[in-house]
Amino acid sequence: MNSTLLSKAEKSYIQAGLQSTPPSRGDGRGLADYRAIALETGVAPLANGSARVSIGRSPHDGAGGTEVLAASKLEVESVEPGSAGVEGGRVSCSVTCSPAAYPHLTSSALDDLQHDLTALLHESLSHPSLHPRNLGILRGTKHAKAWVLHLDAVVLVDSGNVCDALFMAARAALCDTRVPRTRSVEYKARRNAGAAAAGGGGGVVGASAAAKGQGDMDVDEEAVSGFDTRQIQSATDFELPDYWDEGEPLDGRDRWPICVTLNVVSNVHFLDASTQEESATPLRLLLLFAFESTQSVKLQGMRTLGSSELTSSQLADLLKAGEKYAREIWQSLNAKLTEESLAKIKERNKF
Amino acid sequence: MISFTSFPSKPQATSYASSSQYGESKRDLMDIDDEDFESQGSKLTCPGDGHGTYIDDDEVIASVAGTIERVNKLITVRAIRSRYNPEVGDLVVGRITEVQPRRWKVDAHSRQDAVLMLSSVNLPGGVQRRKLESDELQMRGFFEEGDLLVAEVQAFFSDGAMSLHTRSLKYGKLRNGQLVVVPPILVRRLKSHFLTLPCGVDLILGLNGYIWVSKHVKESEQEGEEGFDAEAVYSNVNDDIDEPTRTAISRVTHIIRVLTSHFIPLSDTLLLEAYEWAVEHESDVRDLLQQDFGDALVSSVVSGK
């Protein structure tokens, strides 16, 4: 994927270092060591959820390091034949690479790269098994509506291991995402003409609060009208109640996958390759793991990049190792996200 | 193994102003200029303004942070962070980007790619030899895309691109090590840009900010000592590098990164001092990645000066 020029001598220097005993890397890291990762959520004020991740940023002057920004935006979409809308909502992802991150690439090569990364992110995050349950708004009627979640990621700097950073940022942004509360609204012909002074011959709006707490905001509730206590049968529209928070968190926070890139050089593998190491690596194995809880793990996706090949027994070992690394990332990422959300609550309580 | 941190809360863009080394030197230069103009007795009205300046209300204002240079009435500001400005005789480290008829294009961290002519390299079979057609056909046998080389700036073309040459036994293809890229302004002009640290590491400080850190090759074993051995000079194969040397190479690399991230110009004595300090205080090479360790290194080295 990355075509940084490297001389043969540099390549063999890196490879020989990885294969020597004990293995050594250009910057003295161990094979399974990540560079320092910085993470921040809520960076885009207009998005429903956003995050910025930087891997390997220099602690001294903040230069260098792979940097990815991800933001999610919810949009209402009507579900009807001919439109892209799906009942229960859908997730759509896109990745943009800043030309500044890849100065050596032509614009068509950059498009290819963006397309590859978009396909990777979209195919894994919009998979039905990960679908969040609270993206529907109005269901079943001919006016059905649903949220479409756009997740846009921008690669600002690439200094190696962009896939891991991409999925970390995507995961953090999705965990940061809040879905606005909605309640259904129905239009009815007026039954009691003398009841309401405000006339106009139109209709009375019967509104129902659907804030049952969790999940099913699309289920219609009792009308609060003093005159009419029947069930709302045909919700035609919805409204957004004003509420103190921005909505409830997107469902399925724990499920969003973690990506681990295993860089394989003959019989050793290492994590978090720098740009130079990436160009010296013949094969990279991308593993996507989704953790429902600490026990259950699902392999959500797998890709091999590069020209080299793997034996199946090697693959089995790599899978086992990858799961271990992914679990560590998952735990520390969750800890960091909890810390971020606590900080946000503290920030809000100041006012 | 993996830990997440936060981004620093405040942008550190103001650190230039607060760092004493830059704040003061700039002020000094400014003062001198003012005095000069006043002693001439003429008010500065329409001076020639060069790169890095603009005119606002009859005053020349710097548009970039940097050092002031004056040639008569032409005032230019040379930016602190810029690409490399080549001068004839400079030692540079570059990377081949393209092979063209009778020449190579070389990336040397400058505004344009440098050019290395086939006639400016040492060819097999003696230094004084006519270039043959067969040499043109096997140019990739000497240098191919991605290869690193050390060369000297020979001349400039009319469009400002530099022409390099490697017609010395000290110059040529690089192997047995790794490259570090630093801002070009941090590499000072030294007596020699080929340094040998006692830890078995050779350093080539390219004035263009490319620094080659490699295993030490003994003087007597250097290629071409007696006669010119093209096989060895244009070889792509590394020597065997043992573990302590590798560690030393990555340690030196880290030290260079730490020093340059604090914007400290590199010199041989400074690097040596920093290396000794690092060996004395660290338990592992990875320590140098920690911020506090790097800060301690810098403060001790700078105060010792």
pLDDT in tens, B200-211: 899 999 999 999
| List of chain A residues whose C-beta atoms are within 8 Å of the C-beta of residue B285 | 28
Contacts of B115 (CB under 8 A, 6+ apart): B103, B104, B105, B106, B157, B161, B162, B163, B164
- Per-residue confidence at B291, pLDDT binned at 50, 70, 90? confident
- CA distance to partner chain B, nearest, from residue A53 (Å): 9
- CA distance to partner chain A, nearest, from residue B159 (Å): 22
The residue type of A84 is A
- Per-residue confidence at B92, pLDDT binned at 50, 70, 90? very high
Cross-chain residue pair A332–B253, CB shorter than 8 Å: no
Q: Which of A55-59, B87-91, B136-140 is the most confident on average?
A: B87-91
- Answer whether B182's CB lies under 8 Å from B266's CB: yes
pLDDT of residue A261: 94
- Report which DSSP code applies to A222: B
Residue of chain B nearest A43, judged by CA positions: B7
Residue B277 pLDDT more than 50?
yes
Picking from B236, B246, B262, the nearest residue to A24 by CB comes out as B246
Cross-chain residue pair A12–B284, CB shorter than 8 Å: no
Cross-chain residue pair A28–B1, CB shorter than 8 Å: no
pLDDT of residue B127: 55
Chain B contact for A242, CB < 8 A? no
Question: What residues of chain B, 233 to 292, have a C-beta less than 8 Å from chain A?
Answer: 236-238, 241, 243, 246-247, 250-251, 253-254, 257-258, 261-263, 284-286, 288-291
Picking from A7, A22, A36, the nearest residue to B148 by CB comes out as A7
Cross-chain residue pair A10–B6, CB shorter than 8 Å: no
Q: How far apart are CA A270 and CA A287, in angstroms?
A: 13
Is-cis flag, bond preceding B8, omega within 30?
no
Residue B28 pLDDT more than 80?
no
- CA distance to partner chain B, nearest, from residue A322 (Å): 14
Cross-chain residue pair A63–B261, CB shorter than 8 Å: yes
Cross-chain residue pair B4–A58, CB shorter than 8 Å: no
And the tokens for B141? 């046998």
| List of chain A residues whose C-beta atoms are within 8 Å of the C-beta of residue B286 | 28-30, 33
Chain B contact for A6, CB < 8 A? yes
Interface test with A, best of B1, B3, B4, B95 (most A CBs within 10 A): B4
Q: Residue A130: name the closest of A185, A83, A167, A96 by CA.
A: A167
Residue that wins the pLDDT comparison between B127 and B156: B156
Chain B contact for A31, CB < 8 A? no
Tell me, rounded to whole angstroms, the distance of Cα A295 from its chain centroid: 22
Q: How far apart are CA A74 and CA B267, in angstroms?
A: 55
Cross-chain residue pair B250–A25, CB shorter than 8 Å: yes
Question: What residues of chain B, 80 to 99, have a C-beta less than 8 Å from chain A?
Answer: 95, 97
Q: How far apart are CA A349 and CA A265, in angstroms?
A: 51
| List of chain B residues whose C-beta atoms are within 8 Å of the C-beta of residue A14 | 178
Chain B contact for A309, CB < 8 A? no
For residue B180, the SS3 value is strand
- Model's pTM, two decimal places? 0.80
Residue of chain B nearest A27, judged by CA positions: B250
| List of chain A residues whose C-beta atoms are within 8 Å of the C-beta of residue B6 | 38-40
| List of chain A residues whose C-beta atoms are within 8 Å of the C-beta of residue B173 | 9
Residue of chain A nearest B215, judged by CA positions: A13
| Number of Cβ atoms within 10 Å of the Cβ of B233 | 20
Cross-chain residue pair B241–A13, CB shorter than 8 Å: yes
Chain A contact for B179, CB < 8 A? yes
Percentage of chain B lying above the pLDDT 70 cut: 78
Residue B251 pLDDT more than 60?
yes
- Per-residue confidence at B157, pLDDT binned at 50, 70, 90? very high
pLDDT of residue A228: 46
Range of weakest confidence among A181-185, B19-23, B181-185: B19-23
Query: For chain A, first and last CA: distance in Å?
Result: 48
Residue B151 pLDDT more than 60?
yes
What is the tens place of the pLDDT at every residue in A269-287?
Answer: 999 998 889 999 999 999 9
C-alpha distances out from residue B2 to A12, A292, A320, A346, B215, Å: 28, 20, 18, 26, 31
And the tokens for B250? 């990555």
| Number of Cβ atoms within 10 Å of the Cβ of A175 | 23
pLDDT of residue A77: 86
- Answer whether A37's CB lies under 8 Å from A66's CB: no
Residue of chain B nearest A104, judged by CA positions: B97
Q: How far apart are CA A89 and CA A251, in angstroms?
A: 12
pLDDT of residue A244: 61
Cross-chain residue pair B261–A34, CB shorter than 8 Å: no
| List of chain A residues whose C-beta atoms are within 8 Å of the C-beta of residue B291 | 59-60
Q: How far apart are CA A261 and CA A38, in angstroms?
A: 18
| List of chain A residues whose C-beta atoms are within 8 Å of the C-beta of residue B12 | 61-62
Q: How far apart are CA B218 and CA A40, in angstroms?
A: 50
- Answer whether A89's CB lies under 8 Å from A149's CB: yes
| Number of Cβ atoms within 10 Å of the Cβ of B165 | 17
Residue B34 pLDDT more than 60?
no
And the tokens for A16? 């020989």
The interface predicted TM-score of the complex, written ipTM, equals 0.79
Chain A contact for B18, CB < 8 A? no
Weakly modelled stretches of chain A, pLDDT under 50: 1-2, 193-216, 221-224, 226-229
